Amino acid sequence: MSTITTRLRHLILLLPLLVAGGAAAGPDNHVDIARGKALVIAGDCIACHTAPRGERFAGGLALQTPFGQIMAPNITPDNTTGIGSWSADDFARAMQEGRRPDGAYLYPAFPYPYYTKVARGDLDAIYAYLRTLQPVENRVDRDTLPFPFNIRLLMKGWNTLFFTPGPFKPDSARSAEFNRGAYLVEGLGHCGACHTPFNSFGASRNDKYLEGNQIDNWTAPNITNDARAGLGKWSADDIVQYLKTGQNGFSLASGPMKDVVENSTSKMPASDLKAIAVYLKERGAAGPPASTPLLASDPRMQAGEAIFVDTCAACHMRSGDGVAHLFPKLAGSAVATQQDPATLVRIIVAGGRAAATDGAPTSPAMPSLGYRLTDSQVADVVTYVRNSWGNAAAPVTEETVKALRARVTGAAAGD
Amino acid sequence: MGPTDRSREAKALRRGAGSGSSRRAFLLATAALLVTGKGVSARVVTKVLPWRPNEAYPVTPVVPGGYLFFTANEAAVVEAFAERLIPADELGPGARQAGVTTFIDRQLTGPYGGHDWLYMEGPFAQNPLPTQGLQSELTPRQQYRNGIAALEAYCKSSFSRSFTELDAGEQDKLIAGLEKGEVQLPNFSGKMLFTAIHTNTVEGFFADPIYGGNRDMVGWKLVGFPGTRYDFRDVIDRPNQAYTLPPVSMQGRPAWGER
């Protein structure tokens, strides 16, 4: 084929476009925007960047950290109060380096130590999608931390110690599916931001990656492949079902994970969920050594059993087996036997609600029993659940319940 | 809606009874009230039912000790009366030990004592059908106050003693006479007094202990009622076998540990 014919063909192909001229096709980045939207869902950006009853992505949610309160910013393309004036490079720098366009340091409550792994092409797609949002004027106070944490330059030192910038590097020894899962979990999904313990500087501990943490008075359980504390008993399909519908034969998502499932994972493509499951199953296992269950003759176990039989067994069954799709199984439950008992205690005191998804729309709820049980009674029944039907975990004290009750009830607890 | 609204409505209802146009006016007024009144705007619930953490509507437990409505003498009469209806015997404690008088006293102090949620404006049928329910303008508080006074007056004139000083046989005979309508109390229906004390004694003996009666769940233990349990799947397929779990109240049971 001669060069002339090729050129002619191009010309002919261009003609209809020229004729149609002025139809304002806009930037031809539909694919980017659709992909960006999917990535924003996978990153669950809306969870932090939307205030309760606030405009979507317009910021204003107060994130509680051990160092004080941080208000999540407005990420709509509003020029003055949002990120309307940011370029794609500015956006990529914030995501990969934790820096604002003016160079100021962002706090790692914004999980840039995870987002740094996201590929530039994906960041540009996210940016393209965020540009399509309706700009919302909502000024968020971005300087709410107390002294000395209000000095953003401190984060320079923090980054030196705890932040390893750089994109995700696939492991060539692993399958493409594993690497896709790793890319999602370690990057945009930022699963470790909740499921990995912090050190005293609020950084995720790499030596305890995904081994569980307490976050916002909920237990973010161990999600390594550990048979006792982690996902070891779950198949890859169980994980997919949980992320897609919010429940499986082992557990129902509640608390912050309810929001993650409802806003994010239930809307992700099945292939990505499968990749996440494969990664979590194949990555490895780590957890605390098994403990010995308390003796049934222990007075705490005796009181706990009486309370369980009278108060809990009607739904969760005397055998602790629960009822599929409705009442979580407690026998063999990894959540029930985490080192941190926060979820168990708070669900009894304040009640709880499971995720509602298209796949499992019921959203069963547990009533609050805090009015009926004293701190010591809650401690005893939790201790009983943690040490029955093959479960084994440290007993819970009245003081633990008292402290948690103060945090999850009353005006400060919110909803 | 306050009591004033209610009585105003009741008057409007009576006025409107004979005339179509005023009934229509009343209905329109009611509709307008519903539309403009605060807090009655309809709430749309979609997808999931509302749920809030820490949501509970606990009962304030009755603290035994003293009486809030009864005088000492009234309490003694009610207690003696109730103890004849459910006496302590070989089957267990009676109404006195179960705290029935405290239960009735606290109920009379609350909304039940004033029939606060019942329509009390009349007209009242003189010879009502059984299906017509309550046909008296007397609230439970008035029934007890006036009824006990009448009973005491009757006992003073017939026996020269208080009801509490009669022996068990005399009390039983008198109570039976009240039940059958054979004893005429001065200015008060003996049957009404009997019905009030009898009904409330049974309630006090079997209601949850949180309301002041059924102390230590004695009523439930007597009849084998398991209390606030509501799941029997473990035992439903085992008929004719004893149900062995002890009763449990809204505040638990002794095995739960100290409150």
Predicted confidence (pLDDT) per residue in B53-78, tens digit:
999 999 999 999 999 999 999 999 99
Give B21 or A131, the one with higher predicted confidence: A131
Q: How far is CA B258 from CA A41, A304, A380, A396, B254, in A?
A: 49, 12, 12, 17, 7
Residue A148's pLDDT band (boundaries 50, 70, 90)? confident
> A22 or A117: whose pLDDT is higher?
A117
- A195, A218 contact by CB (below 8 A): no
pLDDT of B39 strictly over 70: no
Crossing angle for the helix pair A398-408 and A375-386, to the nearest 10 degrees: 110
Q: pLDDT tens digit string along A55-95?
A: 999 999 998 888 889 999 999 999 999 999 999 999 999 99
Identify which has the larger pLDDT, B241 or B259: B241
Q: Which chain A residues contact residue B229 at CB under 8 A?
A: 310, 314
Taking Cα atoms as reference points, which of A42, A205, A224 lies closest to residue A118? A42
Burial of residue B76 (CB within 10 Å: 0-12, 13-18, 19+) is middle
- When CB atoms are compared, the residue of B51, B250, B255 closest to A353 is B51
CB–CB contact A409 B54 (8 Å): yes
Tell me, yes or no, if A321 comes closer than 8 A to chain B by beta carbon: no
Confidence of residue B13 (pLDDT cuts 50, 70, 90): very low
* pLDDT attached to residue B38: 52
Chain B touched by A46 (CB under 8 Å)? no
Distance CA A138, CA A53 (A): 13
Q: What is the pLDDT of residue A5?
A: 52
Report the mean per-residue pLDDT for chain B: 87
Nearest to A377 among B52, B228, B256 (CB): B256
Shortest alpha-carbon distance between residue B227 and chain A (Å): 10
| Token pair of A319 as six digits | 């055998």
Chain A touched by B229 (CB under 8 Å): yes
Residue A366 to residue A354: CA distance in whole angstroms: 9
A381 has pLDDT over 50: yes
pTM, full prediction: 0.84
- B238 in reach of chain A (CB within 8 A): no
What percentage of chain B exceeds 90 in pLDDT?
72
pLDDT of residue B17: 40
Whether the predicted pLDDT of A309 surpasses 90:
yes
pLDDT of residue A233: 95
Summarize pLDDT for A320-338 with one digit per residue, the tens. 999 999 999 999 999 999 9
Q: Which of A3-17, A294-308, A347-361, A364-378 has the lowest mean pLDDT?
A: A3-17
pLDDT computed for residue B30 by the predictor: 59
Q: Is the pLDDT of residue A150 over 80?
A: yes
Q: Is B245 on the interface with A (CB under 8 A)?
A: yes
Q: CB of A60 within 8 A of CB of A72?
A: yes
% of chain A beyond a pLDDT of 70: 92
